[in-house]
Structure formats: C-alpha cells, structure tokens
A and B are shown apart, each in its own frame.
Chain A
Amino acid sequence: MVEQLDTVFHALADPTRRAMLRSLTAGERNIGQLAQPFAMSFAAASKHVKVLEGAGLVRRHVRGREHVCRIHAKPLAEADAWLRVFETFWNDRLDGLDSLLREEDEAAARKPKGETS
C-alpha cells in the first residue's frame, strides 16, 4: 500500500503527467493526442504514460495500431484518503500549538504588571 502510494505520488509529481491525467478525465485519448499539447515526441509521451500506468492511474488498450489510454481513478482516491489522514493529523497538532499560545497569553495576562518571567 505504502509502496503503491509512493509510485502514485511520484507519477503525480510531474506537471506533464498531471496535465495528461486531466485530459484523460474528459475521455479516452491515444498517445498522439496526449502528446499533442506538449509538442513532445511519441516516445516521450509514451514514457510518461508508462509511469502513469505503473502507478495504476492509466490503463492502456491496444486497438489496431493505436494505443488508447483511459484514466483509472481508484489509486487517486486512495492517495487522497491518505492525505486526509495527514491533514487531520497536522490540524490536530496545530490546534495544540494554538492552545499553547493561548495558555501562554492567559498566563502572561494573570501576571501582575512589572513582574518579569
């Protein structure tokens, strides 16, 4: 699970691959269509698709001479779920920091004037 998330985040770490995924949310695309907005070679686009495939984010079907790609969103949902756990974790920590600062303020306010800590 952790290793798979690693490959998912690695795949998502590249802006070209993120744009390709975004384009796939609109429907199936072949490699040429995925490459087109980036003025990149078929081979370069194919390499990016391979990374997305490896992370389970894209499925590729061969249709005649064409490679047709389709998005597979499940790993994205898993990555998102993992992030939500971390978000809760850090929000809880920062609530603690907020409490600390408030307690310090209250302690300072209780202290008689002129007294130094």
Chain B
Amino acid sequence: MTEILETLRITRRFDAAPERVFDAWLDPARAGRWLFTSPTSERHSTDLDVRVGGKWTIVDRRDGVDYTARGDYLEVDRPRRLVFSFGMPQFSPLSCRVIVEIVEIVEIVADGRICSTHWPRHFCDK
C-alpha cells in the first residue's frame, strides 16, 4: 500500500466564520464568483451536486474557449472538512484530490478571555 502523498499544502487565514468559508465552496451562487473562474471570464456555469458521491462541473469561458473543471465530492462535513476530486479533462486524464480543512482560530486576548477571531467582541468567552 502506498500512503497518500500530500504534494501541496496551502494555508490561508480568513476573517469569517467557518460556515461562511465552507459554504463559499458549495453554494453555486457564491462559488461561481471565485472557484475556477476569473474576473475576465465571459461565461460561467456552476453545477454542484453537493453530497458524498455527487458530481460537480464548472465551465468557464475565457477568450472564447470553454474550460471545464469537474470532479466528485468525497467527504462533506460542514463546516470542518470538504474533500473532492478535481480534474480538467481537456488537459489531463488525471485528477487530484483536494482536501479543504477549516480550523477555527482561537486567540487568547490580553485580559485572559478566549476569543474566536471572527466572533464579534461581545461574544468573547468571559
């Protein structure tokens, strides 16, 4: 057996609740504004069957050419973890696996209260 090789890990910090970040990958209206698209794209379609085993297809037209990205949802665990396969068949028959892990960042502020970075201040743990 070969272990899964993690070939690339990117970490980003967003100033938003985990649910909002998670849903931005799966809500077609919101995903259609950033996922596999660019500000210069001419036409965009987002078809997401969000459930384990469901398929997703995003077609983006740039300079008159349609670029299709597609894959399957493998894990959907809102708002912590999303795993899907991702391939662009016109470039390669291979697909890779994308693992999105959302970790809530908790910061301890000077007076000892514990805050989640994206909660309003008055929700801080006393």
Q: Which residues of A contact B (CB under 8 A)?
A: 2, 6, 9-10, 12-15, 83, 86-87, 90-94, 96-101, 104-105
A97's partner among B15, B24, B38, B92 (CB-CB below 8 A) is B24
Contact flags B29-40 to A (C-beta < 8 A → 1, else 0): 010011111100
Q: What are the interface flags for B79-105 relative to A under an 8 Å C-beta threshold, 1 for contact and 0 otherwise?
A: 000000000000010100000000000
Main secondary structure of the interface of B (DSSP, over half): loop
CB distance from A16 to the nearest CB of B (A): 11
Q: Which residues on the A side are within 8 Å of B5 (C-beta)? A: 9, 12-13
Contact present for A13 and B2 (CB under 8 Å): yes
Residue of B nearest to A2 (CB): B92
A-B contact count (CB 8 A): 55
Question: With an 8 A cutoff between CB atoms, is B122 at the interface?
Answer: no
Chain A residues positioned under 8 Å from B14 (CB to CB)? 97-98, 101
28 inter-chain pairs at a CB distance below 8 angstroms, sorted by A residue, are A2-B92, A2-B94, A6-B94, A9-B5, A9-B7, A12-B5, A13-B3, A14-B2, A14-B3, A83-B7, A86-B7, A87-B8, A87-B10, A90-B8, A90-B10, A93-B34, A94-B10, A96-B34, A96-B37, A96-B38, A97-B12, A97-B14, A97-B24, A100-B24, A100-B30, A100-B33, A100-B34, A101-B14
- Report if A86-B8 is in contact (Cβ < 8 Å); known contacts: A2-B94, A101-B15, A101-B20: yes
Could you tell me the dominant secondary structure of chain A's interface residues? helix
Residues of A within 8 A of B36 (CB): 93
**How many chain-B residues does the 8 Å CB contact rule pick out?**
23
B34 lies within 8 A of A99 (CB): yes
Question: Chain B residues with Cβ under 8 A from A86's Cβ?
Answer: 7-8
B residues near A93, Cβ cutoff 8 Å:
34-36
A44 to chain B, nearest CB (A): 15
